Amino acid sequence: MAFALVLVGFVFTPAELVSTGAGSGRFSMAGFQLLASFIQVLIFAAPLAFFAAAMAEWRGINEWIYYALVGLLIAGVGFLAQYVSELQGAPTIVNNYAFTAFMTGGFVAGMVYWLVAGRSAAERRRAAEAEAAAQSAAAKAAAASRRAPGPVT
More confident residue, 45 or 144: 45
**141 occurs within a structural domain:** no
Q: Has residue 32 got a pLDDT over 70? A: yes
Range of the domain at 57: 2-122
**87 occurs within a structural domain:** yes
**pLDDT of res. 136:** 79
What average pLDDT does the structure give for the chain?
81
- Predicted confidence band at 68 (pLDDT cuts at 50, 70, 90)? very high
Closest CA to 42 of 10, 2, 82, 76: 2
**140 occurs within a structural domain:** no
Q: Quick one: CA dihedral 102, 103, 106, 107, positive or negative?
A: negative
Total number of domains constituting the chain: 1
- Predicted confidence band at 6 (pLDDT cuts at 50, 70, 90)? confident
Q: Quick one: CA dihedral 45, 48, 52, 57, positive or negative?
A: positive
Q: Mind listing the pLDDT tens digit for each residue in 75-95?
A: 999 888 888 887 777 777 778
**9 occurs within a structural domain:** yes
**39 occurs within a structural domain:** yes
Q: Has residue 122 got a pLDDT over 70? A: no
Task: Report d(CA 79, CA 46) in Å as an integer.
Answer: 15
Mean pLDDT of 133-137: 78
